[in-house]
Amino acid sequence: MKNKIYLSKKADLLSMICVSLAFTAVCIGVLAVPKISIEGAKSGISYSLGILIPSLFPFMFLSGFAVEYGISRKLGRILSPFTEKILYLPSEAGVTVLLSLIGGFPVGAVGISALFKQGKITEKQAQRMLCFCVNSGPAFLISVVGTELYDSEMIGIILLTAQTIASLIIGAVLGLLARRKEPLQRSVAVSGGRNSFSSAFVISAKNASVSTVNLCALVVLFSSFESVLMNILKIDSSSPSGMALKAILEVTDGCSCLAENHVPIFLTALAIGWSGICVHFQIYASAENININKLVFLTGRIFCGLLSGLLTYFATLLIVTDTDAFSNISKTTESFSSSSIYGSLALFVSCILFLIFMNTYINGIISKESSEASA
């Protein structure tokens, strides 16, 4: 126990130094170049109003309404063979899994939070679902990434298919591992009854509104801070380090930057599977009633990105098309190699972010063990 505490203190010191330096740099940057910060915020607001709210709010409402009104229980029976036997989850979780695949990044977290709040799933099941129910929907992948960024619906369909298969593979593997550790049963928490139509409608709209506001606020902040950070570090968005930083922090801006610079499409799929730190914060906010294991969550994001990238790579090799966007598959540049200075910088940033989240996870374990010991 002492060793854990000692390691935690050193990790905490490292994370505090990194966060303090980053915070100081951003503060100086906002004061020194306010115009860049404002332009970044405007870009985030434009994206929120033009894409996020129209494409995600309806699905977030439907995800919550399906649980509040009891639809998930009825439709769950249809999906129960797959939900229970493959994913090893209660049948009520089936609709949430489906909506997470077609609704967009925070939709799954909103539905999982509602399921756990009503006692439909246990906390362990909720934690497991958060590892594969975090997906970008067709509205973003096909309409935005495929049609607008790559000028090809086929690319959007490929990215959507790869992400869906990758998420279901992760869900099935986690379900297989869970069979040995936990029984398939509902939480011991008291399950709430079905709300009336009007109550379920209002509650779902309210919860979706709160989640949407949180989501948009984070996008605006990340867009503003990212612009300032890029200016401070003198990183060009067209450089490998700039593209890597954008993809690590915010998925939409990252995909846009990758598409503009004609990088291989499987790298865009990797960025979508990782989903960006901004989306991670959105998930944490949407599922704040769940004790999220951040180390497991981040591992799931990494594997989802790797699987999505791998599936996209093979899909683009098999599909014959005249679209110019596919021609960049063979143009993988050595500058993305970890042996280059840009690749090393990207790996360094990733390691710093990982240490920060690792420290949070370790502190959570220590706090839990301390509370159990005191009890």
Tens of each residue's pLDDT in the chain, 375 residues: 444 444 455 655 666 776 677 667 667 767 777 788 888 888 888 878 877 788 778 877 877 787 778 776 677 778 888 999 999 999 888 888 988 888 777 788 888 998 898 888 999 999 999 999 989 888 788 878 888 888 888 999 999 999 999 999 999 999 999 987 777 765 444 444 567 888 888 888 888 888 788 778 888 888 888 888 788 778 887 888 888 888 998 888 888 889 888 889 999 999 999 999 888 988 988 888 898 888 889 999 999 999 999 999 999 888 755 445 554 444 443 444 333 444 444 444 444 444 444 444 445 544 555 555 555
Q: Compute the distance between CA of residue 345 and CA of residue 342 in angstroms, rounded to an integer.
A: 5
Cα dist from 127 to 173, 300, 362, whole Å: 14, 11, 17
pLDDT at res. 13: 67
pLDDT at res. 295: 85
* 8 Å CB contact between 63 and 102: no
pLDDT tens digit sequence for 256-300: 889 888 889 999 999 999 999 888 988 988 888 898 888 889 999
Query: 297, 224, 313, 277: which is closest to 41 by C-alpha?
Result: 224
Coil vs helix vs strand at 152: coil
The single-letter code of the amino acid at 208 is: A
pLDDT at res. 18: 67
Q: Compute the distance between CA of residue 233 and CA of residue 223 in angstroms, rounded to an integer.
A: 16
pLDDT at res. 10: 62
Domain limits, the chain: 33-332
pLDDT at res. 205: 87
Q: Compute the distance between CA of residue 233 and CA of residue 237 in angstroms, rounded to an integer.
A: 11
pLDDT at res. 367: 53
Q: Compute the distance between CA of residue 115 and CA of residue 65 in angstroms, rounded to an integer.
A: 11
Q: Compute the distance between CA of residue 132 and CA of residue 352 in angstroms, rounded to an integer.
A: 24
The single-letter code of the amino acid at 83 is: T
pLDDT at res. 22: 66
Query: 80, 85, 88: which is closest to 128 by C-alpha?
Result: 88
Model confidence pTM above 0.85: no
DSSP states along 302-316: HHHHHHHHHHHHHHH
Q: Compute the distance between CA of residue 38 and CA of residue 359 in angstroms, rounded to an integer.
A: 32
pLDDT at res. 362: 45
